Amino acid sequence: MRLTFHLAGINNQNFLMRDDQTGTYWQQISGKAVSGPLSGSQLPFVHSDELTYGTWQSEEPRGTVLQDAAPYRSGYARKDWDVEMQRARTVIDFHEHGLKGRDVMLGIQSFGASRAFPYDQVVREKVVQDHIGAVPVLLVVAADGQSVRAFRDRIPGVLGAPDFYRTAGNPQGALLMDAATGSEWNFQGCAIAGKAKGLCLEPVEVIKDYWFDWRNFNPSTTVYGRK
């Protein structure tokens, strides 16, 4: 049965949606049904990335783009919406790790653990190698300096978690080089030159979220770079 959804409420500034078919209410951030006939069910996640349009279009020139709904265009966010949102108050907060409620984090909930990465720090570092639980992961910043992807730090056929280094970049799109095979990798996590050419790293789902929201729905989260 296909479910179709509508905005239906809010729960500590994370919205709730209701499906038309069963009347069940679902939490947006978790995809979990919280009230109704399907309560306890989980919507399967579809992998997504938050990218700049320029980066996305370079990767998917034949892709399609959601168009503005003309009657509501005047209500759409302005270009500096993220700056404006920084000033909006929060209804809950968690004064932990020296973080403020609207600090932007990159959250990963996988491999039985939750971990948040301060977005500004990841952008500065450009390549972050860390662990989610016991699993090594790699966060990579695109050439645009804004888009971030996460991958499992494991090259098929290579033991352990190889080190990755940022390269100066080239027209073919190489961003990284790994120390194990000496291969060059692009922002899509695929080797485009070297011994590993043709292989791709396994993507890991990462959500860009405010600290207060991530922490509220991931109470056991740890934070990269903080004790």
Partner 1 sequence: MNMPHSISETQRYRRICIAVLLGCLALSLICVVYPFYVIRPFRAQGARELAAALLVMRFRSAATLIACASASAALVVYWRAQPSRWRRACATAGAAFVCLLAALARVNVYELMFHPDDRPSFAAASRTKLDKDEKVIAVKIGGAARAYPIRNISYHHVINDVLDKVAIVATY
Query: At closest approach, how far in Å is the CB of 77 from partner 1?
Result: 4
Residues at the contact surface with partner 1, assessed by CB under 8 A? 2-13, 15-17, 23, 25, 28, 34-36, 43, 46-54, 56-57, 59-69, 71-72, 75-79, 81, 89, 91-92, 144, 146
Could you tell me the strand order of the sheet in which 135-141 lies? 127-132, 135-141, 148-152, 203-204
Closer to partner 1 at the Cβ: 38 or 161? 38
Interior angle at CA 224, CA 168 and CA 84, nearest 5: 80
Closer to partner 1 at the Cβ: 6 or 227? 6
Closer to partner 1 at the Cβ: 71 or 171? 71
Measured between alpha carbons, how far is residue 215 from residues 43, 50, 62 in Å? Answer: 21, 20, 37
Query: At closest approach, how far in Å is the CB of 142 from partner 1?
Result: 12
Query: At closest approach, how far in Å is the CB of 184 from partner 1?
Result: 22
Closer to partner 1 at the Cβ: 25 or 211? 25
Please report where in the chains the tokens 């370079």 appear, as a residue.
58
Sign, CA dihedral 171-177-183-186, equals negative
Closer to partner 1 at the Cβ: 13 or 121? 13
Residue 200 bridge partners (DSSP): 190
Query: At closest approach, how far in Å is the CB of 49 from partner 1?
Result: 5
Interior angle at CA 80, CA 204 and CA 26, nearest 5: 45
- Strands 113-118 and 222-223 come out as parallel
Sign, CA dihedral 207-211-213-217, equals positive
Query: At closest approach, how far in Å is the CB of 95 from partner 1?
Result: 15
